[in-house]
Structure 1
Amino acid sequence: MRFPCPDLDPPYYAVIFTSRRTPGDGGYDAMGERMEALAREQPGYLGIESVRAADGHGITVSYWRDLESIRAWRQHEEHRAAQARGRADWYEAYEVRVCRVEREHGFDRQRA
C-alpha cells in the first residue's frame, strides 16, 4: 500500500482507477512496479496512492499537473502494452475517472 501521497498544490488532476482483479499474479505485481517507475519519469507526474483488498478490489489514484500529461501517459507505448495485458489477463473489470482537484485539506498526527 502506498498512502498517502505527499502534499500536492491544487489545482491538479487525479486519475482514479478502480478495478477487480482476476485470481493469481501472472506478472501483475512486476508490471505494476514497472508502470509506477515509468510514470515517475513522465512530465507532469505528481504521485500515486494505491490499495488492494484481499478480494481483488483495488483503487489506484495517480496525480498529474495537467490533462496533457495524462493524455501522454495514456498513450505511452509501454503503458499501452500494459493496458492490453490488463484487459486480457489481470482484470475482471475496471473504471477510469479523471478529476480536477480544486482544493484539499487533511490531518497528519505526526506533523500536528
Structure 2
Amino acid sequence: MTPPYIAVIFSSQRRDDDDGYAAMAERMVALAAAQPGFLGIESARGADGFGITVSYWRDEDAVRAWKRDVDHLDAQRRGREHWYARYAVRIARVERAYGLDSDAPLLPTERP
C-alpha cells in the first residue's frame, strides 16, 4: 500500500461467549474485502480476549461507506449487545509507511 491511506483501528475486549462471533468476523472480513476502496486488514487477539484489528482504506469516503453497510451495521449491533465488554475505534491517515518487506520502502522518505 502506498500512502496516503486511511487506517481504521478497532481495539476490543471480548466477552467469554462466542455466540457466533467467529463466523461473523470471517463474514465481515470477506464483505469488507469486496467493498470499493478496501486495501487490506490485519488482526490479532490475545488469550485474554483483547484484540486489535486494523483495516486499511483508500480514503474517508470508503470508510464511511463501510460503516453504513447494512450487514456491517448488524454486526456492530450484535457486537455491542453480545460480543464486546468494551471497544474503541480510531481513524487515522497514514502519511508514511515503511518496514522490512519487498513491497514497502525501507526508509520513510518515499512519497506518492
TM-score greater than 0.5 by the shorter chain: yes
Unaligned runs of 5+ in 1: 1-7
Task: Give me the whole-angstrom Cα distance separating, in 2, the residues matched to 1:72 and 1:41.
Answer: 12
1:8-67 alpha-carbon deviations (Å, 9 max, x no partner): 110000000000000021100000000000000100000000000000000000000000
**1:34 aligned to which of 27, 33, 47:** 27
Is 1:59–2:52 an aligned residue pair?
Answer: yes
Name 1:95's counterpart in structure 2: 88
Task: Give me the whole-angstrom Cα distance separating, in 1, the residues matched to 2:70 and 2:54.
Answer: 21
Task: Give me the whole-angstrom Cα distance separating, in 2, the residues matched to 1:103 and 1:71.
Answer: 22
Q: Which consecutive segments of 4 or more residues in structure 1 shift more than 2 A?
A: none
**2:13 aligned to which of 1, 15, 20:** 20
Which of 1 and 2 has greater Rg? 2
TM-score by length of 1: 0.89
1:55-80 alpha-carbon deviations (Å, 9 max, x no partner): 00000000000000000000000000
Unaligned runs of 5+ in 2: 103-112
TM-score by length of 2: 0.89
Task: Give me the whole-angstrom Cα distance separating, in 2, the residues matched to 1:26 and 1:79.
Answer: 17
Aligned length: 102
**1:69 aligned to which of 62, 82, 101:** 62
Identity, % of aligned positions = 60
